Amino acid sequence: MKKTDTSKIAFYIIIAILLVSGIASILYRHYVDHQPWFPGEKARIWSIEGQVDFKALPDRPLTVRLNLPQDQDGYQVLDQSTASSGFGLSYVSGSGGEPVAEWTRREAEGNQVLHYKVNILEQKTFSVEENHVAPPVPEVVWRASDRTAARALADQVYALSADYSSFARELSSIFARSGQVDQNLQLLRSVYSDTELFTKLLNYKGIPAHPVNGLFLEDGRRNQRLVQFLKVYLEDGSVQYYDMRSFKLGLPEDFIIWNDTSGSSLDVFGGSDSGVRFAMVQQVMPLGGILDSFKEDLSILSFSIYDLPLAEQSIFKTMLLIPLGVLIVVMLRVLVGVRTSGTFMPVLLAMSFMETTLITGLLGFLLVVGTGLVIRSYLSRLNLLLVARISAVIISVICIITVFTVSSYKLGLTEGLKITYFPIIILSWTIERMSILWEEEGSKEVVIQGGSSLLVAVVVFLFMNSNFLRYFVFNFLGAQLIFMAVTLLLGSYTGYRLSELRRFSPLVEEQS
């Protein structure tokens, strides 16, 4: 008896330690590190990491030059760092005065990877006085077969314009037309890219313009590539930007210019097969202490996922939501008494719904599982071994997803492409369990457990898809200790579930 009491005391001490540690960590993170309680409450900082990949040529000196972002309206560069083992590094100025990171090495072999990281403060009130000096307009030389079409197209747009701005605007409207395509434009597009052709036509009429590269800022994105815009210089010294994908005027929100010059963003001398890709993560910090935070080293108690590389941070954005989903499932099973097909299958479904959207995910799940149950009912008649039967179900699920995906794409239903986010093994085991349940308990039990699983998955999805909760669990790691403590506490619950209370309804009726 004493031993049991001692074990219970130790159990509750562990829970108390977890709760106190979790709450203390959260309070420390807020009051010492000044992490705000709510997302968007303070200024945003974008941590952008560029990864340069190339193959070094043997017996050749290496020089790698990467153009770097500068302060611009709404965005301020805070600090930057690199990871380049075995390379010399210098920050130099390019031909136009733009900042450039230059890596050098006498010789190297094989595939090489260089990393560059920059922290940029997003502050809409921040502005930079820029002196947009128009570069010299290069002489445009057309091929003999293209000269007539280019002259006719340029003269057509010139007749409809009054200045540089209207010329670029009219030209962009012609490029953007999807129905009636100008024959001259169609001919030139078969030879030149849209960016090159747009630039050449502007330069042909004496209008200074050149491509610039930038990035769309999206939290948790990886393998981002630079996007091209066209910078057009006007007579009054101002500039305009055109999106080279949609030909719309102006820079979109959450977009930063990475390279504001006419040159390339990456130059590799002594190497081949070069490329640069970006990962980015958004941080929310109080504006008053931002500069100090990036100058001073944080204490060991300031444990944060932000210390990891950006690609891993993006993974943790989703991974840290799993304990929240698990806690909700435990509460619904232990306190409410909801029966699900598989203990934590609803959590995996909820994570899939975050990728597919809720409606698309529900329809996709019902289609795959419904079709899989039909196939599984046929396999049960063959008296196969368990391993072979499960393997056949997995292959069938893959075939079902493939057929549904291709069919939806052919029909123009692009939402159907997201069905590939479903966990195939979990779907296969779900089909197997439901088939066995159908054989042993009947269709009613299958509907109850299947419907309950979907209901729990929807509830978990609503919590996991909350912007506040996603922000909170990522920035306050002490929340994980609280989830653990509450889960352990629920594990010791031996009382009635809410679903069991209906058994006492006859007693209530008799007393009344």
Please provide the DSSP assignment of 442-471 as one string: -HHHHHHHHHHHHHHHHHHHHHHT-HHHHH
Q: Could you tell me if 96 and 216 lie in one domain? A: no
Task: Confirm whether 92 is domain-assigned.
Answer: yes
**Residue 25 placed within a domain:** no
CATH number at residue 79: 2.60.40.2250
7 in a domain, yes or no?
Answer: no
Terminal Cα distance for the chain, rounded:
42
**Is the domain of 341 the same as that of 384?**
yes
Residues 11 and 313: their CA atoms lie apart, in Å, by 33
Q: Is residue 31 part of a domain?
A: no
Q: What's 193's DSSP letter? A: -
Phi-psi region of 261 (alpha: psi -120 to 50; beta: other; left: phi over 0): beta
Domain that holds residue 59: 43-124+266-285
Q: Are residues 324 and 255 in the same domain?
A: no
Tell the residue number behind the tokens 């995906």, with chain if given.
405
Domain assignment of residue 18, yes or no = no
Q: Which of 242, 259, 276 is the last residue of a domain?
A: 259
Does 272 lie in the same domain as 253?
no
Give the pLDDT confidence score for residue 393 in this predicted structure.
76
362-392 in b/e form (b: 16+ CB < 10 A) is: bebbebbbebbbebbeebeeeeeeeeebbeb
Query: 466 and 485: one domain?
Result: yes
Q: Which long-range contacts (C-beta less than 8 Å, at least 24 apart) are formed by 157-160? A: 157/201, 158/205
Asked whether residue 21 is assigned to any structural domain, the reply reads no
Same domain, 104 and 150: no
Are 440 and 472 part of one and the same domain? Answer: yes
Same domain? 159 vs 242: yes
For residue 136, give the DSSP letter: P
Strands 271-285 and 239-243, by their bridges, are unpaired
What residues contact residue 90 under an 8 Å CB cut-off, 6+ apart?
101, 102, 104
Give the 3-state secondary structure of residue 478: helix
pLDDT for 288 equals 43
Can you tell me which residue has the tokens 């699900």? 340
- Per-residue pLDDT 10s for the chain (512 aa) are 455 677 788 888 999 999 999 999 888 887 776 677 777 666 788 899 999 999 988 888 999 999 999 888 888 888 888 887 788 988 888 877 788 999 999 888 888 899 999 998 887 767 777 777 788 888 888 888 888 899 998 998 999 899 999 999 999 988 887 556 678 888 888 888 888 999 999 999 999 999 999 999 888 788 888 999 999 999 888 899 999 888 889 888 889 999 888 778 888 998 888 889 999 998 877 654 554 455 444 454 556 676 677 677 777 887 888 899 899 989 988 888 787 776 777 888 888 787 777 887 788 778 877 887 777 777 777 777 777 777 787 787 778 778 777 777 676 655 555 555 556 666 676 777 777 777 777 777 778 778 888 888 899 899 988 888 888 888 888 899 999 999 999 888 777 777 666 666 665 555 65
280 and 255 inside one domain:
no
Same domain, residue pair 250 and 338: no
Tell me what pLDDT residue 432 has: 72
Residue where a domain terminates, one of 244, 259, 274: 259
Q: Is residue 62, in this structure, part of any structural domain at all?
A: yes
Residue written as tokens 């029966």?
339
Domains contained in the chain, number: 3
* Dihedral sign from CA coordinates of 252, 258, 260, 264: negative
Q: Looking at the DSSP assignment, which residues form a beta bridge with residue 145?
A: none
Q: Is residue 467 part of a domain?
A: yes
* Distance in angstroms (rounded) separating the CA atoms of residues 395 and 319: 27
Residues 498, 353 share a domain: yes
Whole-number Cα distances in Å, 138 to 39, 204, 208, 285: 48, 9, 8, 45
Indicate if 58 and 158 belong to the same structural domain: no
